[in-house]
Amino acid sequence: MSITENESKDILGRSDLNDIEGILSITNDDVDAIQHIVKDNADAIFTWDYSLTRPALRKLYEKAKVGQWNGSTDLDWSINVDEEKQVAMDLAAFASGLTPAHYASTTLSNWGDKEWTEFAIEQRRWSLSQFMHGEQGALICTAKIVETVPWYDAKLYASTQVVDEARHVEVFARYLDEKLGGSYQINAHLRMLLDDIVNDSRWDMTYLGMQIMVEGLALAAFGNMQQMTNEPLLKKLLRYVMSDEARHVAFGVLSLQEVYAHMSDKEIKERQEFAYEASVRMRDRFMSQEVWSRMGVNPRDVVPLVLNDPTREVFQQMLFAKIVPNCKKLGLLDRNDAWLRRRFEEMGVIQFENAEDTGEEYVKFELGETLADVQH
């Protein structure tokens, strides 16, 4: 059954998933602000039960302790990055993520190689900036999970994730500052999603929003950029970050499976709606409206076309390659008359439902004994 207009309005604030005006009306005007304050409504929970109750989480905790790396010394920051040359090299395979020919009879018809390369550079700077802001969201969310999750094993694991996320913010911020000449502000769709996650009082919603949705997408997006780029510092940095992210997603799957198995249909419906909302916010942010504005193009003139750009469509679907199978593993796809399955069908991403879920996949991403040679 398709979503009703009212249902869509309630969840997304607009009646049509692809309403361009609705998407573009969400903007970040607060570009010079240094702080952004969000009310965190959750209770901090102590537990006096220190016994080992969840071996899978404890195993993950042990893995995390030996999987630590140091962003200052394990990466070679002396590498000189010639961004223009780099993007030109990567362009054939990736870079802008768009098909120039698709815009031939639009305001971009006069764009040549120079403009597309410039766009690709800005797009990469923008993407890495959103990664950085998302990492700070993860830092805040996992600090929150340490407080709010009632299980001892999960508190231990979450504490290691706090350190991981600090390291991720650190390396993305340094790369942007030293190699790309600065960052973009947070995208408004991403900020809205992070606000919702931090604001929610239910501890499992932090997990669902961050570990399953935001980190599931990040793992896919990092993997994509990691494969496509030939820039050695970025390639290694992303590979290191991915070794941590895979554990983080596993943490979400292992924890929520247990919780969701015991929830009523009504409670599950709220989780399904939240997962859908998060999916749409993340999809909307990839319209890169700030990059178009920076290039002197009105986003309204191009975003409708971006939605149907064949290269971007493949990219957007790939972003959901981890999210959909993980939602399935949590039982979120098919409860309540397959409500979330129908939404993922409408978004064109349901084909990933049987892809490898990330409950165990983290082992594949481990850095190995010496942390050496992780270029591939």
- For residue 218, the minimal CB distance to Fe ion (Å) is 7
Q: Is 168 in the site for Fe ion (CB under 5 A)?
A: yes
- The footprint of Fe ion on residues 110-129 (CB under 5 A) is none
Amino acid at position 171, single letter = V
- For residue 245, the minimal CB distance to Fe ion (Å) is 5
Rounded (10°) angle between helices 215-228 and 113-148 = 140
Map 74-87 to HEC letters. Answer: CCCCCCCCCHHHHH
- For residue 325, the minimal CB distance to Fe ion (Å) is 18
Q: Which is nearer to Fe ion, 3 or 242 (CB)?
A: 242
- Which are the contacts of 259, defined by CB distance < 8 A and separation ≥ 6? 204
Q: d(Cα 68, Cα 77) in Å, to the nearest integer?
A: 18
Specify the stretch interacting with Fe ion by CB under 5 A; choose among 210-218, 225-233, 251-259, 270-278: 210-218
Specify the stretch interacting with Fe ion by CB under 5 A; choose among 70-78, 185-193, 209-217, 223-231: 209-217
Q: What are phi and psi of 248, to 5 degrees?
A: -60, -45
Judged by CB under 5 A, which of 90, 135, 273, 277 binds Fe ion?
135
Specify the stretch interacting with Fe ion by CB under 5 A; choose among 21-29, 85-93, 207-215, 222-230: 207-215
Q: d(Cα 222, Cα 214) in Å, to the nearest integer?
A: 12
Q: Which is nearer to Fe ion, 165 or 361 (CB)?
A: 165
Beta strands in 55-147 (DSSP E): none
Total H helices, total E strands in the chain: 16, 0
Q: DSSP letter string over 236-251?
A: HHHHHHHHHHHHHHHH
Q: Which is nearer to Fe ion, 119 or 365 (CB)?
A: 365
Binding mask 230-259 for Fe ion (x = CB under 5 A): ---------------x--x-----------
Q: Which is nearer to Fe ion, 191 or 341 (CB)?
A: 191
Q: Which is nearer to Fe ion, 117 or 160 (CB)?
A: 160
Half-sphere exposure of 26 (CA within 13 A, CB side): 22
Q: Which is nearer to Fe ion, 88 or 166 (CB)?
A: 166
Q: Which is nearer to Fe ion, 108 or 246 (CB)?
A: 246
- For residue 36, the minimal CB distance to Fe ion (Å) is 19
How long is the chain? 376
Nearest one of 305, 140, 281, 292 to 217, comparing CA atoms:
281
Q: d(Cα 332, Cα 316) in Å, to the nearest integer?
A: 21
Amino acid at position 205, single letter = M
Specify the stretch interacting with Fe ion by CB under 5 A; choose among 46-54, 158-166, 195-203, 301-309: 158-166
Interface size with Fe ion, residues (CB under 5 A): 7
Residue 37: count of CB within 10 angstroms of its CB: 7
- For residue 210, the minimal CB distance to Fe ion (Å) is 8
Specify the stretch interacting with Fe ion by CB under 5 A; choose among 22-30, 83-91, 159-167, 348-356: 159-167
Tell me the Ramachandran region of residue 185: left when phi exceeds 0, alpha when psi lies from -120 to 50, beta otherwise. beta
- State the residues that interact with Fe ion by CB under 5 A: 135, 138, 165, 168, 215, 245, 248
